[in-house]
Every structure is written in structure tokens, then in C-alpha cells.
Amino acid sequence: MIKFSRSVEIGEDFNNITVFGFSINDMFIVDPYVSECGRFNVDPVETYGISKEDADNLVKLNKILEEAVQREVARKLKPALPDVAVLAKTFSRVLWRCLTAAEMYQVIARNAAGTDPGVCHSHDFCDANTAMEQALQELGVSYTAPTEVTELINEAWDLAKAVDFYDLIPGKED
């Protein structure tokens, strides 16, 4: 727990960012180790009459606030990822549009006969990575290869293979 010997207030810094600080002589001090103009390092005890403990705690508190805001902004900017089954079905639809039914059935047969579960024979007939990227785009996901997108892709690909790409012959009811 962070404790102070004086009142801490909420205000804004010079960049209009919400921060914690101390009101001292009509000044709002957010970093007691910096001069009023922000150009010089100062001693908080000598310059503002703020104890070293309060100065350190204020810096720590503003750092905690900044990190919390950054996490929340990142969380809100992070696109929602689709469900694995939704991506698997969308990927399957893209493949069924790109390949003929005969090619798709060869993919399914080769996958069933294959010994390496990490191999998908859709690559024998098209650039299946591009098909997956197209599926992601159709679902509004920008593929930038962060870990969670890569994991989603792998899980969706495995599911699509496991259900024989949903047997989605174009024009056939889902």
C-alpha cells in the first residue's frame, strides 16, 4: 500500500494527461524531482518541502496509473478474435471457392491418409496460407502474426481438417 503524509490530488500535467500530484504554493507538482519548468532535476525536500518518501511514492503512483491506462488502451484497441469454429468454417468456405470439388476431395483423402498431423494437403493445390489470410480478412481480423492469432489459425486449421472442411460444395446448403 502506498501511503502519503500529505494530501494527494488528481489533476492534469502539461500534456493534459490525468496524473496524481501535490498542490504546493499554487503549483501542481506531479514529479517532485523536476523543477516547475520541467527542465532541471531538483531535490524534492529543498525545492518543494516534500519528503523523499512522499516524492518516491508519488512517482510510483503515477507510474502505476500510466501502466494501468496503457493496459486499458491496449485492451480496447485489441481486435476481438473470432471463435475457432467460425474461422474454421470461413477458411473452409474460402478453400471450397478456390478449389474444385474434385481437388477438395483429394485434399480430404490425402489428409486422412497422411501420417503427419501438421501437414495439410490443401497446399498441394493452392496457397492455403493466403486462403487463411482471406478468411481472417472476411472476419475483420488483420493478420499481423501475434501469438493469439497464430494459435487461433492453428486451431481453426486443425478443426477444418478434422471435419473434412465441412464438405461445403459451393451452392450446397450449410
pLDDT one-digit tens code per residue, 76-117: 766 678 899 999 999 999 999 999 999 999 999 999 998 888
Distance CA 64, CA 140 (A): 33
Report if pTM > 0.75.
Answer: no
State percent of the chain over pLDDT 70. 92
CA 64 to chain centre: 20
**What value does the CA radius of gyration of the chain take, rounded to a whole number of Å?**
29
Q: Is residue 67 scored above 80 in pLDDT?
A: yes
Across residues 50-66, what is the average pLDDT?
Answer: 95
3-state secondary structure 106-156: HHHHHHHHCCCCCCCHHHHCCCHHHHHHHHHHHCCCCCCCCHHHHHHHHHH
Across residues 162-171, what is the average pLDDT?
Answer: 78
pLDDT at 167: 80
User: Average pLDDT of the chain?
Assistant: 89
- pLDDT for 115-154, tens place per residue? 888 899 999 999 999 999 999 999 988 766 567 788 889 9
Q: Which range (11-15, 64-68, 84-88, 142-146) has the least confidence?
A: 142-146
Distance CA 27, CA 37 (A): 11
Q: Is residue 172 scored above 70 in pLDDT?
A: no
Describe the chain by its helix, strand, coil percentages, rounded to 5: 55, 10, 35
User: Pick the residue with more confidence: 36 or 173?
Assistant: 36
Band of residue 72 on the pLDDT scale cut at 50, 70, 90: confident
HSE on the CB side for 150, CA within 13 Å? Answer: 4
Tell which residue, 97, 86, 61, has the closest CA to residue 159: 86
